Structure 1
Amino acid sequence: MDRQTGGEAAWPGREALHDLAACLRFYSRLPVPQLPGEPDPHRAPDFTRLPRMLPLAGAILALPAAMTLSAAWLAGLGPFLSATLAVAIMAAATGGLHEDGLADFADGLGAGGDRTRMLAIMRDSRIGSYGALVLVLALALRIGALATLLDRLGLPAAAALVVAAALSRVAALAPMALLPPARSDGLSATAGRPQGASLALAAALGLVLAIATLPFGLPLGGTVAMIVLGAFATLAVTGLARNRLGGQTGDVIGACQQAAEIAALLGLVAAVAP
Structure 2
Amino acid sequence: MLQFIREYLLAVQFFTRIPITGRLADWVGYSPEMLRASAAHFPGIGVVVGGAAAAVFALLQILLPDTPFTPLVAAVFSTIATVLLTGGFHEDGLADVADGLGGSYDRERALEIMKDSRVGAFGAMALVLALLCKVALLALLGSVELVTAAEAPSLFSGWYVCAALWTGHIVSRGLPLLVIRQLAHVGDTATSKSKPLADQISSSGLLIAFAWCFGALALASLLLDAVNLIVACSFSVVALLAMLRFFKRRLQGFTGDCLGTTQQVCEIAFYLGLAVSL
Q: If the length of structure 1 is used for normalisation, what is the TM-score?
A: 0.89
For 1:27 and 1:143, the matched residues in 2 are separated by 22
Pick one of 262, 267, 274 that aligns with 1:261.
Answer: 267
Output the CA distance in 1 between the equivalents of 2:28 and 2:10.
Answer: 10
Q: In the alignment, which residue of structure 2 is the partner of 1:105? A: 97
Equivalents in 2 of 1:181, 1:51: separation in Å?
A: 15
**How many angstroms does 1:73 deviate by?**
1.1
The answer to whether the 8 Å contact 2:232/2:274 transfers is yes
Structure 1 counterpart of 2:213, from 206, 212, 230 = 206
The residue aligned with 1:137 is 129
The number of equivalent residue pairs is 258
Tell me the distance in 1 between the aligned counterparts of 2:272 and 2:138: 9
In the alignment, is the contact (CA less than 8 A) between 1:48 and 1:198 conserved in 2?
no
Q: Report matched runs for 1:12-161 at 5 Å.
A: 13-33=1-21, 34-35=23-24, 38-41=27-30, 43-44=31-32, 46=34, 48-76=36-64, 78-153=70-145, 154-155=157-158, 156-161=160-165
Does the 8 Å contact 1:101/1:254 carry over to 2?
yes
Distance 1:47 1:73 in 2: 38
Larger helix fraction of residues: 2
CA displacement at 1:190 relative to structure 2: 3.9
Deviations 1:217-273 (A, max 9, x none): 21111111121111111111121111101111011000000000000011011112x
8 Å contact from structure 1 (residues 164, 261) kept in 2:
yes
Q: Which SS does the other structure have where 2:27 is aligned? A: coil
Gaps of 5+ in 1: 1-12
Where does structure 2 lack aligned partners over 5 or more consecutive residues? Answer: 146-156
Whole-angstrom CA distance in 2 between matches of 1:170 and 1:147 = 24
The equivalent residue for 1:181 is 185
Q: Distance in 1 between matches of 2:262 and 2:25?
A: 34
- CA offsets 1:201-224 (integer angstroms, 9 cap, x no match): 211320111111222x21111111
Q: Is the 8 A contact 1:69 1:85 kept in 2?
A: yes
Per-residue CA deviations over 1:140-188 (Å, capped at 9, x if unaligned) read 0000111111112332211110100000110121221111111342343
Q: Indicate conservation of the 8 Å contact 2:57/2:78, yes or no.
A: yes
Indicate if the aligned counterparts of 1:105 and 1:252 stay in contact, CA closer than 8 A. Answer: yes
- Give CA deviations for 1:101-141 in whole Å, capped at 9, x if unaligned: 00110111111231110000111111111111111000000
For 1:269, give the aligned amino acid: A
Alignment partners' CA distance in 1, 2:276 and 2:243:
21
How far does the alpha carbon of each residue in 1:37-57 deviate from its partner, in whole angstroms, 9 at most, with x for none?
Answer: 83524x446454222222222
Q: Name the CA shift for 1:39/1:90 in 2 (closer, same or farther; >3 Å).
A: closer
2:231 is aligned, of 219, 225, 236, to 225
Give yes or no for contact 1:22–1:45 (8 Å, CA) kept in 2. no
**Counterpart secondary structure, 2:64:** coil
Aligned to 1:239: 245
- Indicate the residue corresponding to 1:270 in structure 2: 276
Q: State the distance in 2 between where 1:256 and 1:47 align.
A: 20
User: 2:152 maps to what in 1?
Assistant: none
Distance 2:207 2:165 in 1: 23
Q: Do residues 252 (structure 1) and 255 (structure 2) align?
A: no
Find the aligned partners of 1:184 and 1:204 in 2 and give their Cα distance.
Answer: 31
* Counterparts of 1:47 and 1:266, CA distance in 2: 32
RMSD: 1.7
Letter in 1 for 2:56: T
Matched-pair contact (CA < 8 Å) for 2:35–2:196 = no
Q: Distance in 2 between matches of 1:39 and 1:47?
A: 11
- TM-score under structure 2 normalisation? 0.88
CA deviation profile, 1:65-101 (whole Å, cap 9, x unmatched): 1100001111225011000000000000000000000
Give the match's secondary structure for 2:170.
helix
